[in-house]
Amino acid sequence: GIVHRDVKPANVVINRARGVAQLCDFGIAKDLESTLASLTASGMGLGTMAYMPPEQVGEAKHVEPSADVYSLGATLYHFLAGRPPFSPTNMKALWEIVDQPPPPLDAFRAEVPAEVSALVHATLAKDPDERPPIWSLVEQLAALRARWPG
């Protein structure tokens, strides 16, 4: 499998004709099965801070697919709230990514359905093992889209 390592709004292209979103810019993606030399070294952080999962802050070498689940959740949060869950501009803000929960979505958009908010917040779990696996996330998003097609 592949870990993108930089899922963010700027790397999502909306295809309105097909009604789908597509991920682009695989420049820092990592093939989990490759034995070739990696572009990351131990202790190196990669990606965009506002969408980076806690485990990727300062250490991008050993990220798993759950890192992309977090970043996708941060991207969905931004699409729904009009801002990312965190806006890291200094070390204190990086601490928030690692240790603090994001503000509730309904603080910015009260009309976001509770099920959507719960799913987005589940993707933003600090512990990678507590995030939904990508296949489950895809199924849940498809079910939510069927219920709220707008």
In angstroms, rounded to a whole number, what is the distance separating the alpha carbons of residues 79 and 97? Answer: 18
Q: What is the pTM of this model?
A: 0.83
pLDDT at 39 over 90: no
In angstroms, rounded to a whole number, what is the distance separating the alpha carbons of residues 121 and 7? Answer: 16
Q: What is the pLDDT of residues 64-102, one digit of tens each?
A: 889 999 999 999 999 999 999 998 777 777 888 888 999
The arithmetic mean of pLDDT across residues 11-22, rounded, is: 87
Query: Can you give the residue range of the structural domain that contains 44?
Result: 2-147
CATH assignment of the domain containing 112: 1.10.510.10
Q: How many domains does the chain contain in total?
A: 1
**Stronger pLDDT, 24 or 141, i.e. the higher one:** 141
6 annotated active-site: yes
Which of 6, 25, 31, 68 is the catalytic position? 6
| pLDDT at residue 20, rounded to an integer | 84
The mean-pLDDT minimum among 59-63, 132-136, 138-142 falls in: 59-63
Show the tokens assigned to 3.
């870990």
